[in-house]
Structure formats: C-alpha cells, structure tokens
Amino acid sequence: MSPTKVLTEVIREWSEVFMQRSMRDFKRFMNETGLSFSQINILMRLVHKGSTGVSEIGEQLGVTNAAASQAVDRLVGLELIERTEDPDDRRAKRLALTQKGRTLIEQGIEARSKWIESLMDVLTSEQQNMIITALTLLSETAHKTNKLST
C-alpha cells in the first residue's frame, strides 16, 4: 500500500468514527437545549467570529435572509444573542452572543471534548503526548488555512 493510501485511509476511518459519535452527542445536545441544528450553527458561528450581520448568517447557512432573520429573532427571544443597530450603517444589525448564549455553546464544546479526553485515559503518557502534538499541529494548520479561505 502506498503512503498516500495509508494517509487517506486513516483519515477516513477517523472521520467516520468521529462523525458517528458526534451525531449522537449532537442530537442529544439538541434535545437537551431544545435548539435546532441551524440555531446551534448560528451560535457556533458567533463564538468563532465575534459579531456579524443577518445576511452573513443566512449566507453561511445557505438559506434566505428571511429565514436567517427569523432564526435570529427566535434566538433573541431566548436571550441567547443580542441584536443591536450597527452605528456605522443603520440599515445593518450587529449580532453577538449574550453571556447565556456563550455559556451554553461552550458547554456543548466541552461535552465533545470530554469524549476525546475519555479516550486518552486508557493510553500511556507517551501516547498522550504524541496525540497532543498531533492535534496542536492540526489546529494550528487549520487556523492558518482558514484565514486564507474565509
């Protein structure tokens, strides 16, 4: 087997395992919070980007502005995000997480993290160190390449 084949195979395997697990946890998170996939998507976006406008939300989700506006409205109602006027362009709105929203979404990320941590428990500290190095490298690379693409 060629080295490239090994690489893609390993990644595919890991993606499948990770997705399988994530789906289950994510569904559970949706049920617990009562939030929809799109709503969580919006909150995640805001964690990552700080603040954005309604159109950008719609664009990322691949839905119309109307849909985005409605989704935002529900989240504002739940006090998970704040919607204020953009002082520079008063047509636009600035959307940002409330503390409540931030806490909630970070709990979701924590839950995901905990699973990987639990995997670590059965490994030796050398193995753990290697994985730490690997994941750090992947995160850093992701950040660099994200800057280019987004």
Residue ranges binding DNA (CB under 7 A): 35-36, 38-39, 53-56, 61, 63-67, 69-74, 83, 86, 88-93
28 near its own copies, rule: CB under 8 A: yes
Using the contact rule CB under 8 A, the part of the chain among 69-77, 82-90, 91-99, 140-148 near its own copies is: 140-148
Q: Which is nearer to its own copies, 7 or 86 (CB)?
A: 7
Given candidates 1, 10, 91, 102, which one binds its own copies under the rule CB under 8 A? 10
Q: Please identify, using beta-carbon distances, which residue of 82 and 111 lies nearer to DNA.
A: 82
25 within 8 A of 115, measured Cβ to Cβ = yes
By CB under 8 A, residue 117 contacts its own copies: yes
Burial of 46 (0-12, 13-18, 19+ CB in 10 A): buried
- Cβ atoms within 10 A of the Cβ of 41, count? 15
Interacting residues of 81 by C-beta distance below 8 A, sequence separation 6+ = 42, 43, 46, 72, 75, 95, 96, 97, 98, 101
Instruction: Sort 61 into a burial class: Cβ within 10 Å, 0-12 / 13-18 / 19+.
Output: middle
- Footprint on this chain of its own copies (rule: CB under 8 A): 3, 6-8, 10-24, 27-28, 30-31, 37-38, 40-41, 44-45, 47-48, 60-62, 109-110, 112-113, 116-120, 122-123, 125, 127-128, 130-139, 141-146
